[in-house]
Amino acid sequence: MSTTSNDLTKNYSGIFGNQVLLKNKKGRSVMTIPAYKPKKEPTEGQTATRERFADAAAYAMEALQDAEMLAAYTAKAGRGKIPYIVAVTDFLKPPQVKSIDTSDYEGNPGDKILIEARDDFAVKSVEVCIISSAGEKIEKGEAALNMLNSRFEYTATVSVPELDGVTITATAEDYPKHKAERSITL
């Protein structure tokens, strides 16, 4: 509550009973609740959470300086939301790789591997890596989003005669550069 014409409180300032704070700001008398100051030091978890939110706020401020990202976050915001909150939320929620479908992969060039990757805003990219049973990289590349089934599709380029023990790893990345990974072994 604030006022400019109250003769009773215009010169008062201070705290009343630890419940009301009276102060004068630019000629106005202001009555508010005093700020809560915890008596204990924050825990390690509280400090980590505060740092994470600070990082999210910094990301949002930087992302919204880019016209393309501002347009994308604005479009996602919709009615009653602001792009800043959408950007902060995007930072706080990393992507997920839900599944890797190898039912059409038989180790031949041209075979398809389907990846279901999700994010609260958008998945920027999905990378697929195929590793032999001996731990050697067979191939690695970007999967493309198939708009018909909303899955990322990787087309194999190398022949793999023996699939037993082959590991396929899909790594999804979102715009704040958070990554999520899932692997399956054939």
Q: How far apart are CA 82 and CA 68, in angstroms?
A: 16
Q: What is the pLDDT of residue 27?
A: 67
* Amino acid letter, 118: R
Q: What is the DSSP letter of 135?
A: S
- Output DSSP code: residue 20: E
Rg (CA), the chain: 27
Q: From start to end of 81-150, where are the E strands?
A: 96-101, 112-118, 123-131, 137-146
pLDDT in tens, 14-54: 566 666 666 777 667 666 766 667 778 888 998 899 999 99
pTM: 0.71
pLDDT at res. 80: 78
- Two tokens, residue 36: 């809560």
Q: Which of 142, 126, 143, 134 is nearest to 182 (CA)?
A: 126
Question: Long-range CB contacts (< 8 A, 24+ apart) of 79-87?
Answer: 84/60, 86/121, 87/59, 87/60, 87/63
The pLDDT value recorded for residue 13 is 60
Which residues of the chain carry a pLDDT beneath 70?
Answer: 1-22, 26-27, 29-31, 33-36
Fold entry, domain 96-185:
Immunoglobulin-like (2.60.40)
Domain ranges for the chain, please list them. 2-32, 44-92, 96-185
